[in-house]
Amino acid sequence: MLEPAMAQDAAKTEKDKDKKEKKDLPLEGARKVKINTTEGSWLSLDVSPDGSKLLFDMLGDLYLLPVGGGKAEQLTTGMSFDTQGRFSPDGKSIVFISDRDGSDNVWTMDLATKKTKQISKSKNENFQSAEWTPDGEYLIASKGRRNLKLHMYHKEGGSGAELISKPDNLKTVEPAFGKDGRYIWFSQRNGAWNYNAQLPQYQLATYDRETGDIDTRTSRYGSAFTPTLSPDGTWLVYGTRYNNQTGLVAQNIRTGEEKWLAYPVQRDEQESIAPMGVLPAMSFTPDSKNLIASYGGKIYSLPVDGGAAKEIPFQVDAEIEVGPKLDFKFPIKDDKMMTVTQIRDAVMSPNGKQLAFTALDRLYVMDYPSGTPKRLTDANYTEAQPAWSPDGKQLAYVTWEEKTGGAIYKINANGKGKPSKVTVEKAVFQDPVWSPDGSKIVFIKGSAQAYREAEGPGAFASRLNINWVPAKGGETNYIAKANVGSKPHFVKGDDRIYLYNGSDGLISIRWDGTDKKSFLQVKGITTFGSVEDMIEEEMNHNMHLEEREPQQKPSTASTLIKAPVGDKALALINNEIYVVTIPEKGGETPNISVADVNNSQFPSWKLTEIGGQFPSWSADGKTVYWSIGNGFFSYNLDEAKAKKEELELKKEAEKAKAEANKDEAKKDEAKKEEAKKDEGYKPTETKIAIQVERDIPQGTILLQGGRIITMNGDQVIENGDILIENNRIKAVGPTGTLTVPKSANVVDVKGKTITPGFIDTHAHMWPRWGVHTNQVWIYAANLAYGVTTTRDPQTGTTDVLTYADMVDAGKMIGPRVYSTGPGVGYWSYNLKSLDHAKQVLKQYSEYYNTKTIKMYLVGNRQHRQWIIMAAKEQGLLPTTEGGLDFKLNMTQTIDGYPGHEHSFPIYPLYKDVVDLVAKSEMTYTPTLLVSYGGPWAENYYYATENVIGDKKLNYFTPKSELDSKARRRPGWFAKEEHIFDRHAEFVDKLVKAGGLAGVGSHGQLQGLGYHWELWSMQAGGMSNLDALKTATILGAKGLGLDGDMGSIETGKLADLVIMDQNPLENIRNTNTIKLVMRNGRLYDANTLDELAPTKRKAPSFDWHSATPVGVPGIQE
């Protein structure tokens, strides 16, 4: 027992910890990065009213500088990101944008006392470009989610007022005043940004503070942005694009005449989010004779009447606080047996004594809860979605095999006898369920050919109709179109078919598809962002999403299933499972909110704490089941209710005791707080550990006589041997120096060049979801092009967990498939605390075993810091989404995130950013094929490469996929418009500075796209050797896998690429691959036939569609 003093100390410690975790910016700086520089990136600045000082920002801190130059004085420090400072008209204060309270807001600082004051108090919006009104009483700033709007605040505070509200897609930013305070000049555009943008994007406009009128003031092809007005009212300077570069135009406001003031200057941000302005803020000197602007990493004074620019030199010596270093390592096991990561479609038998599920896409049954799982068949194709017969004696399930298509089978649950085919036609089948009397099976049916030939994870025409078939087998019978609903199910005493669809909610229909009745709709929490945008935006970078605001609206259920008995239904919303009461109220369909189950309109319960999938009911409607990873959970509603009542009685007793003896109650406070964490009903969890053999080849191979680029430093062995034993490198050295057993399979590689296997750190590879395919063309294509390890930083669903295990078990050919699983994104969460973040991440650390996660724009700065704190505690490596937002990118770097996806949208970048990113040890994967801030690099290659005529590419890619990408494409860009080589200059600087980078193809063109990305990264001046390091050892380090891959060294995995030509001479020789070795198996790179240690043909690749040859037609 704790002594009273100890108890008080413990309570204080717990309170201090809780206070730290709940403070606005909870993350403490754990490292310091020294910045010593005379150049800076994107320096927004202002001139003091007396003309003596400049105010500028660098890496989230504000600095003062004498107008003549010199050493900068640091005004702000710490983890907060402070930007876009502007002097007040009296020069005594500044206004700036800061996230020091956990989210972007407008702040002011008294320069004499350094005391700060928060003006706005938003928690979920972005702010940009605050400016004083000329009288110094008000502040104008842009606020919003994507399409920011001008708002006005008083300097003493208040909630402020929106000046421009409509239309919704209008973005109004960069407010500026001239001599007359009546008019606010600003930049405007439709939508937040455009990918592969066509000009113009922005124009200048004015807002009349007396009338509210808005007038557009420019119509330039190259856009017009960042209005900057002289104090005397004579000059307007703004930025515009001329050809492919940005310049400054000076307009005489009185005459309208214009002239070029400077060209070229800093590349503008009109093709991305522009969170700190479309150009860095500029300012006139008080006498209106000179404009002070930053470009080329420097600060210049530009005479408005013409003449040479004068540099204002500056020196910044600072220490940037950076978050913790996350450098976890993930050793790769060679154990003979591996545990399957995920069970799918788990369903309990009607009597609650047996559990059916699939693992590695094979059907299993086990006695619940402690029996040994057993396969029911010996089939070598996909088995999925088992369903129990009402008597619990049989299971129906769907199958898929590429050549023959899909079917529905049934089999005895006791394992006796062979499976019996129920359907006779070729199709793809999903969601089977038995009728209550066991005479029929209802299911969703689609086109087998459409499913086989579909390009993406959700196949077109794979869900056409709802049908039924006699349970004894026979022809299928039509019920309704599948758009009526999904997840067919039944309830006792009712012969109607229950379904769910997003529009109508939980419904039922007759067997002829008529008489639709709607029972229930359920809404969940309001997430930080828009649920609908997630998959579209990540995979396709959809061209129209940028015009939409993230919708602050309740989440909708993805599944609703009525209990077999009673008045309850379960709902799956954002991977969380709820149970709700269905009221019989008549009239409109009840729409129940479970955002706060304690305040739902009718009794509701949230069952999950860390998420769940594949929810189902027990036959008596008293228990809900679900799975996550290989964990199976059982939640008994009656037991949970009893536990809740018990805790309520206990709480009342404790309250009475506290009233009776307040002093004693205080002493016990620490113990009570700790005990609360363990209170409450917990579902029963059963770990289902399916053990299968890991695919590790047996045998010895000698690769003899090749050039070996080891990636062990700069070592290149011009004539060397590599000895492979099983799946590991046994030895490497000059030819003839190794001890080679007589049994070794010798492969002559004279004249060829060998590198480690390529690592794709941003590989979107999304095979079919739900019912899986047996061989994935995406996996084969990547391996054939030398990619032996992939990491997908956003999978949308957890299907990848099973696919990855299939590859590791040797069930299909492909690279090593790592992933983050579904992104931890703002579409699914609205984080409330650090503890909440920890619960969210347990899915990944304890069940998905992903090792890395994707923090996908999860919320404001506070939310993002909670995520990295939780990731550190749970041993996860988080990477981040670039989001076309340079400010976001810098805050994530400062917070210590060890990975970054997509290019920083601005260029050029200078020593300040290079040093910060390099010293923070963040792995930068720029995905230049979808470059931010300009045309995508993939457009360059489609315009200059013979993609359609590439024989190998045609062999490993479905024709419809290749045709849709390469035959007709929107958008053509002059060569000089492309910016991937400019972005690549930063990668070169980063690697030279000792930083980390990875090659990520983004899934744009599977296989060959990886080489396009690598060539693009080298185009910025990087040496070929550094480019190859980026493709191998640096990428391995970024994923925590460099202990087992990334270089050719003794003990590492035998993942190798053997090329006919030397990539050190020409980087494009990476696409001369003759052989590829993955995990000790040597493949012909043009066919994926295995050559050693076993000789065998590649499996039949059934994505090759039939060609119209040998049929009647026009003879030419």
List Cα–Cα distances, 995 to 10, 316, 320, 329, 998, in angstroms. 43, 21, 17, 18, 10
Q: Which residues pair with 442 in a beta bridge?
A: 433, 468
Could you give the number of structural domains in the chain?
Answer: 5
What distance in Å separates the CA atoms of residue 199 and residue 219, rounded to the nearest whole number? 11
Query: Looking at the structure, do residues 363 and 471 belong to the same domain, yes or no?
Result: yes
645 Cβ neighbours under 8 A, 6+ residues apart: none
Q: How many residues does the chain have?
A: 1116
923 Cβ neighbours under 8 A, 6+ residues apart: 761, 879, 898, 899, 900, 996, 997, 998, 1034, 1035, 1037, 1038, 1039
What pLDDT score does 1001 carry? 98
The three-class DSSP label of residue 782 is: helix
What distance in Å separates the CA atoms of residue 671 and residue 676, rounded to the nearest whole number? 9
pLDDT classification of 557: cutoffs 50, 70, 90: very high
Query: Looking at the structure, do residues 453 and 502 belong to the same domain, yes or no?
Result: no
* Residue 84 within a domain: yes
What is the CB-side half-sphere exposure of residue 175 using CA atoms within 13 A? 29
Lowest mean pLDDT: which of 238-252, 411-425, 1092-1106? Answer: 1092-1106
Looking at 607, 628, 649, the residue that finishes a domain is 628
Decide: 820 and 791 in contact? Cβ < 8 Å. yes
The model's pTM? 0.95
pLDDT > 80? residue 395:
yes
pLDDT > 80? residue 22:
no
pLDDT classification of 530: cutoffs 50, 70, 90: low
Tokens of 686: 């059963």
Range of 190's domain?
38-322
Summarize pLDDT for 785-801 with one digit per residue, the tens.
999 999 999 999 999 99
* Residue 847 within a domain: no
What pLDDT score does 883 carry? 94
Looking at 418, 450, 484, the residue that finishes a domain is 484
The three-class DSSP label of residue 899 is: strand
Question: Largest alpha-carbon pair distance within the chain?
Answer: 102
Decide: 684 and 626 in contact? Cβ < 8 Å. no
Summarize pLDDT for 55-89 with one digit per residue, the tens.
999 999 999 999 999 999 999 999 999 999 999 99
pLDDT classification of 6: cutoffs 50, 70, 90: very low
Residue owning tokens 């009221």: 583
What pLDDT score does 216 carry? 98
* Residue 1039 within a domain: yes
What distance in Å separates the CA atoms of residue 606 and residue 592, rounded to the nearest whole number? 13
Average of pLDDT values for 420-429? 96
Compare 858 and 548 and report the one with higher pLDDT.
Answer: 858
What distance in Å separates the CA atoms of residue 612 and residue 939, rounded to the nearest whole number? 40
Query: Looking at the structure, do residues 2 and 59 belong to the same domain, yes or no?
Result: no
Report the Cα 596 to chain-centroid distance in Å.
27
Backbone φ, ψ for residue 345 (5° rounding): 55, 35
Comparing C-alpha atoms, which of 1059, 1027, 1054 is closest to residue 732? Answer: 1054
What pLDDT score does 1106 carry? 74
> Both ends of the chain: CA-CA distance in Å?
96
pLDDT classification of 2: cutoffs 50, 70, 90: very low
Comparing C-alpha atoms, which of 316, 33, 267, 27 is closest to residue 914? Answer: 33
- DSSP conformation letters of 606-640: E--SS--EEEEE-TTSSEEEEEETTEEEEEEHHHH
What distance in Å separates the CA atoms of residue 1003 and residue 1010, rounded to the nearest whole number? 8
Query: Looking at the structure, do residues 85 and 150 belong to the same domain, yes or no?
Result: yes
Average of pLDDT values for 843-858? 96
What distance in Å separates the CA atoms of residue 1059 and residue 859, rounded to the nearest whole number? 45
* Residue 825 within a domain: no
pLDDT above 70 covers what percent of the chain? 94
pLDDT > 70? residue 899:
yes
Query: Looking at the structure, do residues 439 and 575 belong to the same domain, yes or no?
Result: no
> Using a CB cutoff of 8 Å and minimum separation of 24, what contacts does 285-290 make?
285/47, 285/51, 285/67, 286/47, 286/49, 286/50, 286/51, 286/231, 287/51, 287/231, 288/230, 288/231, 288/232, 288/234, 288/235
Query: Looking at the structure, do residues 264 and 173 belong to the same domain, yes or no?
Result: yes
- For residue 74, which amino acid is it? Q
1108 Cβ neighbours under 8 A, 6+ residues apart: none
Residue owning tokens 């089939």: 379
**In terms of C-beta density within 10 A (0-12 exposed, 13-18 middle, 19 or more buried), how is residue 643 classed?**
middle
What is the CB-side half-sphere exposure of residue 1081 using CA atoms within 13 A? 26
Summarize pLDDT for 695-726 with one digit per residue, the tens.
999 999 999 999 999 999 999 999 999 999 99
* Residue 831 within a domain: no
Lowest mean pLDDT: which of 465-479, 996-1010, 1093-1107? Answer: 1093-1107
* Residue 468 within a domain: yes
Decide: 787 and 1007 in contact? Cβ < 8 Å. yes
* Residue 907 within a domain: yes
What distance in Å separates the CA atoms of residue 561 and residue 522, rounded to the nearest whole number? 11
What distance in Å separates the CA atoms of residue 1116 and residue 1113, rounded to the nearest whole number? 9
What is the CB-side half-sphere exposure of residue 661 using CA atoms within 13 A? 8
What pLDDT score does 675 carry? 53
What pLDDT score does 540 carry? 52
What distance in Å separates the CA atoms of residue 398 and residue 662, rounded to the nearest whole number? 64
Average of pLDDT values for 244-273? 98
pLDDT > 80? residue 827:
no
What pLDDT score does 9 carry? 46
| Cβ atoms < 10 Å from Cβ of 1091 | 17
What distance in Å separates the CA atoms of residue 373 and residue 1108, rounded to the nearest whole number? 48
Burial 383-419 (b: 16+ CB within 10 A, else e): bbbbbbbbebebbbbbbbbbeebbbbbbbbbeeeeeb
pLDDT > 70? residue 569:
yes
Average of pLDDT values for 843-870? 97
pLDDT classification of 10: cutoffs 50, 70, 90: very low
Compare 171 and 458 and report the one with higher pLDDT.
Answer: 171
Decide: 757 and 1057 in contact? Cβ < 8 Å. yes
Query: Looking at the structure, do residues 721 and 612 belong to the same domain, yes or no?
Result: no
Q: Please report the sign of the dihedral spanned by the C-alpha atoms of residue 419, residue 423, residue 424, residue 429.
A: negative
Average of pLDDT values for 839-846? 97
The CATH number assigned to the domain holding 420 equals 2.120.10.30
Comparing C-alpha atoms, which of 964, 672, 866, 617 is closest to residue 24? Answer: 866
What pLDDT score does 20 carry? 47
What distance in Å separates the CA atoms of residue 1002 and residue 991, rounded to the nearest whole number? 21
What pLDDT score does 664 carry? 59
* Residue 368 within a domain: yes
What pLDDT score does 462 carry? 76
Query: Looking at the structure, do residues 920 and 1050 belong to the same domain, yes or no?
Result: yes
What pLDDT score does 534 carry? 46
What distance in Å separates the CA atoms of residue 377 and residue 185, rounded to the nearest whole number? 73
Decide: 697 and 1079 in contact? Cβ < 8 Å. yes
Query: Looking at the structure, do residues 292 and 372 belong to the same domain, yes or no?
Result: no
Query: Looking at the structure, do residues 567 and 522 belong to the same domain, yes or no?
Result: yes
Q: To the nearest whole number, what is the mean pLDDT of the chain? A: 94
What pLDDT score does 531 carry? 41
Looking at 322, 352, 373, the residue that finishes a domain is 322
Tokens of 952: 């190998």
What pLDDT score does 545 carry? 43
DSSP 8-class letter at 56: E
Compare 449 and 835 and report the one with higher pLDDT.
Answer: 835
Query: Looking at the structure, do residues 191 and 307 belong to the same domain, yes or no?
Result: yes
What pLDDT score does 670 carry? 52
What distance in Å separates the CA atoms of residue 791 and residue 850, rounded to the nearest whole number? 10
Query: Looking at the structure, do residues 926 and 1049 belong to the same domain, yes or no?
Result: yes
DSSP 8-class letter at 921: T
Decide: 68 and 28 in contact? Cβ < 8 Å. no
pLDDT classification of 498: cutoffs 50, 70, 90: very high
What distance in Å separates the CA atoms of residue 867 and residue 853, rounded to the nearest whole number? 10
646 Cβ neighbours under 8 A, 6+ residues apart: none
The order of strands in the sheet holding 613-617 is 613-617, 623-628, 631-636, 684-687
What pLDDT score does 672 carry? 56
Average of pLDDT values for 601-620? 96
The order of strands in the sheet holding 758-760 is 758-760, 787-792, 816-819
Comparing C-alpha atoms, which of 194, 117, 213 is closest to residue 158? Answer: 117
pLDDT classification of 21: cutoffs 50, 70, 90: very low
pLDDT > 60? residue 850:
yes
What pLDDT score does 666 carry? 57
Average of pLDDT values for 807-819? 98
Q: List helix spans (H) across 582-708.
A: 637-660, 662-667, 669-676
pLDDT > 60? residue 816:
yes
pLDDT > 50? residue 514:
yes
Average of pLDDT values for 435-451? 95
Tokens of 343: 């069970």
Comparing C-alpha atoms, which of 215, 278, 276, 271 is closest to residue 248? Answer: 278
pLDDT classification of 13: cutoffs 50, 70, 90: very low
Average of pLDDT values for 93-98? 99
What distance in Å separates the CA atoms of residue 906 and residue 986, rounded to the nearest whole number? 10
